[in-house]
Amino acid sequence: NAGVTQTPKFRVLKTGQSMTLLCAQDMNHEYMYWYRQDPGMGLRLIHYSVGEGTTAKGEVPDGYNVSRLKKQNFLLGLESAAPSQTSVYFCASSYMYNEQFFGPGTRLTVL
C-alpha cells in the first residue's frame, strides 16, 4: 500500500496564479485533511472532509477551496495565490476521528 500520496512535491507560482494540489489515499479512510505548516510553526488545519461529497472549514480556510468527489481523493485549490500562502502543505487521512496518517507534503512558493 502506498498510504497517502501527494502531487506535486514542489511548485513555484507567481502571485495571482491558480493551482490544485492532489491528495490520494489507499487505506479506505473516510476522513481526509489538508494542513499547512510554516517554518518553525505547528500544523494548522485548512479544510477537512468526513466523507465523499462533504467538506468543512478548519482553522485557516481563507484563500483555499477543496473538493472530495471520490473517497480516495481530496483536492486543495488556490484560486489566486498570494505570497502568504508560501508554505508546506500536508494531506492526511484517518479512520473516523482518530490518529491521522500523513502524506509527504507539497512545498509551495508564491513569488
Partner 1 sequence: RKEVEQDPGPFNVPEGATVAFNCTYSNSASQSFFWYRQDCRKEPKLLMSVYSSGNEDGRFTAQLNRASQYISLLIRDSKLSDSATYLCVPLDYGGSQGNLIFGKGTKLSVKP
Positions in the binding site for partner 1 (CB under 8 A): 35, 40-45, 48, 50, 56, 58-59, 88, 90, 97-105
Q: Where are the beta strands (DSSP E) in 1-111?
A: 4-7, 10-13, 19-25, 31-37, 44-51, 54-57, 65-67, 73-78, 87-94, 101-102, 106-110
**Residue 19 or 43 having the CB closest to partner 1:** 43
- Min CB(54)–partner 1 separation in Å: 11
- Min CB(80)–partner 1 separation in Å: 26
**Residue 17 or 101 having the CB closest to partner 1:** 101
Q: How many angstroms separate the Cα of 86 from the Cα of each of 20, 27, 47, 55, 106?
A: 14, 29, 17, 23, 10
Can you read off the three cell numbers belonging to residue 2? 502506498
- Min CB(16)–partner 1 separation in Å: 27
Torsion 35-5-84-66 (CA) sign: negative
- Min CB(90)–partner 1 separation in Å: 6
**Residue 17 or 44 having the CB closest to partner 1:** 44
**Residue 71 or 107 having the CB closest to partner 1:** 107
